[in-house]
Amino acid sequence: MKFPTYFISHGGGPWPYMDDLRHAMRALEMSLRDIPRQIGVTPKAVLMISGHWEDEVFSVMASPQPTMVYDYYGFPAHTYSVIYPAPGAPALASRVRALIGAAGLPARLDVERGFDHGTFAPLAVMYPDADVPVIQLSLQARLDPAQHLELGSALSSLRDKGVLIIGSGLSYHNLRCFGPPARAPSQAFDGWLQDTLIRSSPADRLARLIDWGKAPAARLAHPRGDHLLPLMVAVGAATTEAGHCIYHEDNIFGGVTASSFRFGSAANE
């Protein structure tokens, strides 16, 4: 079975561990909980590309038991002691590094990196028993979209081997423009995403993603692009396959339009 790939909007901070935020993000939670149903079987491992990890080269988490990275601020004390105890997958990490290197891209293993909230927050909803091995893969710090599409292509063969590839970011990420002021730019950029990912041909989709900075409200929606680049990896690993919107909400974070996408068919389709 060839798994689809995903780009998910992962929500705010450690939201699954806070009752009020979890209630506010109910629609997001339901979309994440539905992903295991969509793929139909338990994956052998999850490969997560998080918008919260950048490195000079593509770095692959290689610890057999990853630690935690509490990369958020101002949340309740208990959220700085939560543990998502999923095992790592060192053999898969070595395979990922080899695939990236074979594509002519620089890569290294990192035995110290732990799970950041771009990984553990959504996975706490998707696989709450933490019984699926997980590795993270960093972004490359230059945030070049073409290079991240190439990265996805290099990893595509893993989809036939029981590895679920997920790009974890946010379809809108401007921490200085949340709430009501975010309504117009997030809607404009989301409309471009829907058109690009669902209604464009595969070739046009790639071209539009490479030039994403020309999209409506692009730099208001993503001043840096770190939370968008995981999308490029998900698309690059499923270049010719159809995009599907699996989550869409018009008023998250007080005014933000946000979406998540699947590339490829669900098991039950």
What is residue 254's predicted lDDT score, i.e. its pLDDT? 87
Would you say 72 and 16 are in contact if contact means Cβ atoms under 8 Å apart? no
Would you say 133 and 45 are in contact if contact means Cβ atoms under 8 Å apart? yes
What is residue 176's predicted lDDT score, i.e. its pLDDT? 83
Does the pLDDT value for residue 269 go beyond 90?
no
Show me where the domains of the chain are located.
Answer: 5-263
What is residue 263's predicted lDDT score, i.e. its pLDDT? 97
Q: Structure pTM?
A: 0.97
Give me the percent of the chain exceeding a pLDDT of 70.
99
Give the model confidence (pLDDT) of 198-222 as tens digits. Answer: 999 999 999 999 999 999 999 999 9
Does the pLDDT value for residue 227 go beyond 90?
yes
Instruction: Taking residues 170-187, report their average pLDDT.
Output: 91
What is residue 136's predicted lDDT score, i.e. its pLDDT? 98
How far lies 134's CA from each of 13, 238, 250, in Å? 19, 20, 31
Distance CA 141, CA 263 (A): 25
β-strands 163-169, 107-110: how paired? unpaired
Give the model confidence (pLDDT) of 125-159 as tens digits. Answer: 999 999 999 999 999 999 999 999 999 999 999 99
Least confident range from 29-43, 143-157, 169-183: namely 169-183
Give the model confidence (pLDDT) of 62-112 as tens digits. Answer: 999 999 999 999 999 999 999 999 999 999 999 999 999 999 999 999 999
Nearest CA-CA partner of 98 in 108, 89, 90: 108
* Other C-beta atoms lying within 10 Å of the C-beta of residue 241: 17
Distance CA 189, CA 100 (A): 30
What is residue 267's predicted lDDT score, i.e. its pLDDT? 83
Q: Which CATH number applies to 5-263?
A: 3.40.830.10
Nearest CA-CA partner of 201 in 242, 233, 149, 150: 242
What is residue 178's predicted lDDT score, i.e. its pLDDT? 86
Does the pLDDT value for residue 268 go beyond 80?
no
What is residue 1's predicted lDDT score, i.e. its pLDDT? 79
What lies within 8 Å, CB to CB, of 75 at 6+ separation is: 13, 14, 18
* Other C-beta atoms lying within 10 Å of the C-beta of residue 87: 16
Distance CA 14, CA 240 (A): 34
pLDDT category, 175, cuts 50, 70, 90?
confident
